[in-house]
Amino acid sequence: MKLWYQNKLDQEREMSFEDIKKGFEASVFDTRDMPLERELSLYIGSGRGGLNCSCDDKDFESLVEYVVANRNFIELWNQD
């Protein structure tokens, strides 16, 4: 997935969906208190514990689909 660090065109980066998902799940943004799309968006955009990046909307939609398809929901239920 293409990301632009600090929303700068000359700071383009690539990260796999899996790397983003793992980082998100290990972050403070994965609270399950808000919709997944909102939490992922905060993780990607935040400079405080997140990636501090921007991304393309279509790539973001694909990322959300990937995270939903590859999340271990049984593990999430057992955390409570």
Tokens of 36: 């997944």
pLDDT of residue 75: 54
Burial letters for 34-52: b for 16+ Cβ neighbours within 10 Å, e otherwise? eeeeebbbbbbeeeeebbb
Report the C-alpha gap between 9 and 22 in whole angstroms.
25
Number of domains in the chain: 1
The domain of 65 spans 2-77
Q: What is the pTM of this model?
A: 0.85
Over residues 11-63, the pLDDT tens digits come to 999 999 999 999 999 999 999 899 999 999 999 999 999 999 999 999 999 99
